[in-house]
């Protein structure tokens, strides 16, 4: 009966966390995770007060594992390592292999129980990867091995016969998703949760992290100086070269758009921006890189 209850709660937790991931574009606020969810009149939590392994009191084995975000100048509580083969080296709770949290993950590995992996993006923001499985235990290194590609492998195998090809594909997809989520969280955080063009703020659901050099290009790196925090209107306008940003941070609006006659949305939302300067992060090393803006503005010039 305990196993049945555990499975039912686990499936419900997966639904709740997947929904949060969609709503928040893979950058789930910690406060949303701390709320948990209601299951048959009881509150079930998906993360605990401490970083690391978490088991709700209603579950038989842990439900989630969490890796803290990297903060410059601050040491993370645990040195978890995301490997290039789609696996994660996840550190024990403490140094005692017999700690109840470590024993719980060992039981999850033995019974092939799925878990949720929360990967820290910035302080207070997490990307959820699920389901993941514990596939290795090394007491000498005080670490478990976590496979974070299982869900994508299963999907890929429906159209690919080669397991290695499916795993390589799954690894690329998961890594890309984590990089995109981290890029979005870091850029929006750097711009103090506001649009660099219109200053819309405190509505993160309406903000995107726009690449200056598109990520499909080799130089389109997922780093803050290659990003702009833009509301969805100005992100679309920037991507389609309706507006451009010069290397001196001045906004230009494409000539044909300036000449259009329409309502107040066009006037105030786009035309009125021509000649204004964008806002930049407080830290100089987070400012848009000049050579990126130069390269991108050339594309705007050609489009105009």
Q: pLDDT, tens digit, for every residue of 262-278?
A: 767 777 788 889 999 99
Cα separation, 183 vs 180, in Å, equals 5
C-alpha dist (Å) from residue 142 to 16, 95, 110, 126, 132: 31, 7, 17, 24, 19
Predicted local confidence at residue 79, as pLDDT: 82
Strand 115-122 to 64-67 pairing: parallel
Helices and strands in the chain, H and E counts? 9, 14
Q: With bands split at pLDDT 50, 70 and 90, how would you rate the model's confidence at 157?
A: low
For the chain, give the percent of residues with pLDDT over 90: 66
**Mean pLDDT (whole number) for 121-126:** 92
Residue-range domain boundaries for the chain:
2-181, 195-303
Predicted local confidence at residue 173, as pLDDT: 79
Higher pLDDT, 304 or 283: 283
Higher pLDDT, 85 or 40: 40
- Rounded to the nearest integer, the mean pLDDT of the chain is 89
Picking from 291, 278, 285, 277, the residue whose alpha carbon sits closest to that of residue 224 is: 285
**Mean pLDDT (whole number) for 268-293:** 92
Residue 7's CB is within 10 A of a number of other CB atoms, namely 14
pLDDT in tens, 5-35: 899 999 999 999 999 999 998 999 999 999 9
**Mean pLDDT (whole number) for 203-207:** 90
Q: With bands split at pLDDT 50, 70 and 90, how would you rate the model's confidence at 292?
A: very high
Q: Does domain 2-181 have CATH number 2.30.280?
A: yes
φ, ψ at 99 (rounded to 5°): -60, 145
Predicted local confidence at residue 1, as pLDDT: 44
Q: Is the peptide bond between 131 and the residue preceding it cis, with omega within 30 degrees of 0?
A: yes
Q: Dihedral through CA 95, CA 101, CA 103, CA 107, nearest 10?
A: -140
**Mean pLDDT (whole number) for 192-207:** 91
What's this model's pTM, rounded to 2 decimal places? 0.81
């Amino acid at each position: 009966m305990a196993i049945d209850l555990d499975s039912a709660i686990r499936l419900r937790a997966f639904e709740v966390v997947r929904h949060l991931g969609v709503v928040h574009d893979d950058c789930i606020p910690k406060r949303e995770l701390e709320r948990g969810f209601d299951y048959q009149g009881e509150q079930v939590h998906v993360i605990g007060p401490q970083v690391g392994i978490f088991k709700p009191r209603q579950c038989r084995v842990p439900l989630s594992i969490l890796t803290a975000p990297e903060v410059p100048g601050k040491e993370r509580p645990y040195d978890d390592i995301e490997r290039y083969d789609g696996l994660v080296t996840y550190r024990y709770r403490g140094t005692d292999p017999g700690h109840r949290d470590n024993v719980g993950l060992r039981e999850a590995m033995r019974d092939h129980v799925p878990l949720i992996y929360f990967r820290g993006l910035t302080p207070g923001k997490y990307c959820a990867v699920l389901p993941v499985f514990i596939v290795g235990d090394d007491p000498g290194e005080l670490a478990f091995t976590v496979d974070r590609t299982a869900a994508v492998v299963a999907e890929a195998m429906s159209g690919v016969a080669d397991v290695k090809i499916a795993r390589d594909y799954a690894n690329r997809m998961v890594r890309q998703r984590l990089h995109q989520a981290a890029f979005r969280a870091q850029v929006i955080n750097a711009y103090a949760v506001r649009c660099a063009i219109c200053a819309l703020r405190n509505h993160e659901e309406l903000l995107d992290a726009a690449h200056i050099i598109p990520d499909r290009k080799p130089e389109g790196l997922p780093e803050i100086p290659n990003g702009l925090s833009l509301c969805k209107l100005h992100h679309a306008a920037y991507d389609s070269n309706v507006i451009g940003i010069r290397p001196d941070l001045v906004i230009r609006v494409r000539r044909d758009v300036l000449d259009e006659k329409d309502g107040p949305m066009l006037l105030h939302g786009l035309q009125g921006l021509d000649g204004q300067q964008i806002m930049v992060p407080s830290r100089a090393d987070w400012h848009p890189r000049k050579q990126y803006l130069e390269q991108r503005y050339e594309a705007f010039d050609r489009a105009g």
